[in-house]
Amino acid sequence: MKNISFSLIASLLITILLLFTHPKVYSQDNKEPDMSITLTSPSFEEGEMIPVQYTCDGKNISPALNWKNIPDSTKSLALIVEDPDAPGQTWIHWVLYNIPPSVTELPENTSADKKLKNGAVNGTSSFRKLGYGGPCPPSGTHRYFFRIYALNTMLNLDPGATKTELVDAMKGHILSEGQLMGRYERE
């Protein structure tokens, strides 16, 4: 009996840990959203090194991003950039939401203003600032995931929302998503 209880508790703890370390945000019908959005950057290819100008060792400006294959029923887009290799916790480098579905790119050095000219809204990063904060690992090579989400709603979030607040607001509203991963290394 004790072995069964221990196994059951261990299984539940592992499931909870997986949910909190990489939460899935499901669409309205509880199916995983498809990964049909193609997210690219003219600055680096999937899996390649992010150029120094987009990091804390350079100008610390955001790279240009482009996307395509947004579902027709999209009402807004959201972007999260994070480093899961940061010591202690996933480090959030950028939170941007309520991007109009007509927008298909963000320029290099996107503004850190509360609201962008195109209507998008900047959230708060782990740097406790609005807008993009570039890779700045303490040492070693880290991975940086740029994730874009197509949503079936506009989000009722004020400027400065955190990743956690954004993820909570997106629950049940994701139609599709896409991802671009770049790396950066510091000695």
User: Which pLDDT value is given to residue 181?
Assistant: 97
Those residues whose C-beta lies under 8 Å from the C-beta of residue 91, and which sit 6 or more positions away, are: 82, 83, 126
Sign of CA dihedral 131, 167, 22, 147: negative
Let me know: does 97 contact 79? Beta carbons within 8 Å.
yes
Using CA atoms, how far apart are residues 79 and 148, in angstroms rounded to an integer? 5
Q: What average pLDDT does the chain have?
A: 87
For strands 76-83 and 140-151, give the pairing.
antiparallel
pLDDT per position as a tens digit, 21-67: 444 444 444 455 566 999 999 999 999 999 999 999 999 999 999 99
Output the pLDDT for position 187.
74
User: How far is 27 from 30, CA to CA, in rounded Å?
Assistant: 5
Q: What is the pLDDT of residues 108-165, one digit of tens each?
A: 999 999 999 999 999 999 999 999 999 999 999 999 999 999 999 999 999 999 999 9
Nearest-angstrom CA–CA distance, 85 and 136: 11
Give the fold, CATH level 3, of 26-186.
Answer: Phosphatidylethanolamine-binding Protein (3.90.280)
Q: Which tokens sit at 130?
A: 């609005």
